[in-house]
Amino acid sequence: MKENFFQNKLALITLLSACGIVAVSMGLRQTFGLFSDFFVKDLQCTITQFGLAIGIQMLIWGMFAPIFGAIADKIGGNKVTIIAFLFFALGIYLLYSGPNTGIFFQINLGLLIGIGLGGTAISVQIGEVGKHFPNKTRSMAVGIVVAMASIGYFFSPMYTKFALSSYGWEKTLQSFLFFIVFGMIIAIFLFPVKKEKNLIDKSKSKEQTIPEALKEAFNHKGFILLTFGFFVCGFNITLVSAHVPGYIQERGFEAWTAFAILSLIGLFNVFGTLTFGYLSGKFSKKILLSILYFSRGIVLILFLVLPTSSYVALGFGMLYGYLWLSTIPPTSGIIAQVFGTQYSSMLYGVVFFSHQIGSFFGAYLGGYFFDQYGSYDYAWYLSIGLSFLATIVHLPIDEKPLPRLATT
């Protein structure tokens, strides 16, 4: 079995390249919340403006992921990733060198880095990797790539904490460029598969056009409910990643706990993603999603009501990290299971865009509520309510394949 996991050396090299790319891209993205105080002090932006920039970043990321994906199908994921990293680097460079105030702050942190994430943060990479693996091992290969994003989550806050305290925020951002250059170098090895060796399964469903596939999906109640659920997922995790550092200060936790929480989220996300990837092949995916969203609500409640202590903060990082990206395997699994594989990437892209819209509101409303009321509590209450709503929303989803898939 192990001998057959990699069909050839190209598959191994491509997988390793993708792992390195997403570790860099997703790792750097995870650290921006740690810069919020510095941006407020030195760039004269408010917490609302910072939240808006992160929200724009999430939206642009979601918009460009399918665009870069389509281009990658034509010219190769390696070229697309390098191009996207150039946008990422430009955004980072301008953020510390200027112009970087007012509208330029939104352009640098929101637009340019958002475009960069669209081509470097998982979507293009797992698409390219998936082409090198047959159906029986593709999910495992993709899971390894997603897990490496979590490794980036774990190490990047620790490095950023050290760099910020030792060198300041401008030098820290400047050092990010070295990681991006490394990402561009290893992106060269994200090889596109040769067409005659493409291992993507031939869908047994009848041929559809893209408009037909979209119409079918949006006429399916389960797809709409799944899309709403991923909106909640985006709201949940971006509120935490963008505003936990500020909330830690508000509650009076020790300063180091903010960095610890973000690192633990990355570490325990590895275990959660792999666990729910395995469980998705054994149990009802919609039930797993309901359990995940319900658990998120409970963990948030505990974080708010338990006494302020480092143990509570660390426990939150571990538990919420375990639930962080665990929604991806059952969500993408339902899409392929119900609608077939012919347009599963496109349909997942639609659902992912909803995730990014939720991310926008999580980032923006967190800052808005703080500036308006002097507290993040209302944002947490909203996140808890949405989590419990998502718990209920997933239950009516019909997971059975569409009839057309059974007629061929």
Q: Tell me the DSSP string of 173-218.
A: HHHHHHHHHHHHHHHTT-PPPPGGG--PPPP-SPP--HHHHHHHHH
Residue 322, judged by CB atoms within 10 A of its CB (0-12, 13-18, 19+), counts as: buried
Distance, in Å, from the CA atom of 319 to the CA atom of 177, rounded to the nearest integer, reads 32
Distance, in Å, from the CA atom of 231 to the CA atom of 361, rounded to the nearest integer, reads 9
What is the rounded radius of gyration, in angstroms, for the C-alpha atoms of the chain?
20
pLDDT, tens digit, 9 for 90 and up, residues 71-91: 887 788 899 999 999 999 999
Q: What is the DSSP letter of 308?
A: S
Distance, in Å, from the CA atom of 109 to the CA atom of 122, rounded to the nearest integer, reads 19
DSSP 3-state of 141: helix
Backbone angles phi, psi at 130, to 5 degrees: -60, -30
According to the model, what pLDDT value does residue 2 have? 47
Tokens of 238: 């971006």
Tokens of 155: 């190490």
Distance, in Å, from the CA atom of 131 to the CA atom of 191, rounded to the nearest integer, reads 10
According to the model, what pLDDT value does residue 373 have? 86
According to the model, what pLDDT value does residue 1 have? 40
Backbone angles phi, psi at 188, to 5 degrees: -55, -30
DSSP 3-state of 375: coil
According to the model, what pLDDT value does residue 408 have? 43
Of 240, 289, 285, 288, nearest in space to 265 by CA: 240
According to the model, what pLDDT value does residue 171 have? 94
Identify whether the C-beta of residue 120 lies closer than 8 Å to the C-beta of residue 88. yes
**Which residues have a Cβ under 8 Å from the Cβ of 117 and sit 6 or more positions away?**
25, 29, 57, 60, 61, 64, 84, 88
Identify whether the C-beta of residue 81 lies closer than 8 Å to the C-beta of residue 125. yes
According to the model, what pLDDT value does residue 405 have? 64
Distance, in Å, from the CA atom of 24 to the CA atom of 183, rounded to the nearest integer, reads 6
- Second CATH level (architecture) for the domain 207-408: Up-down Bundle (1.20)
How many other β-carbons are positioned within 10 Å of the β-carbon of residue 203? 17
Q: How far is CA 344 from the centre of its chain?
A: 18
Which residues of the chain, if any, have pLDDT below 70?
A: 1-4, 6, 134-139, 193-207, 341-345, 405-408
According to the model, what pLDDT value does residue 185 have? 96
Helical pair 135-167 and 328-339, crossing angle rounded to 10 deg: 150
For the chain, counts of helices (H) and of strands (E): 18, 0
Q: What pTM did the predictor assign?
A: 0.77
- Indicate the domain borders of the chain: 8-194, 207-408
In one letter, which amino acid is 280?
A: S
**What number does CATH give the domain 8-194?**
1.20.1250.20
Give the DSSP H/E element, type plus range, for residue 237.
helix 221-251
Length of the chain: 408
According to the model, what pLDDT value does residue 203 have? 45
Backbone angles phi, psi at 219, to 5 degrees: -90, -5
Tokens of 177: 């460029």
Distance, in Å, from the CA atom of 71 to the CA atom of 397, rounded to the nearest integer, reads 33
**8-194 and 207-408 agree in CATH topology:** yes
According to the model, what pLDDT value does residue 161 have? 86
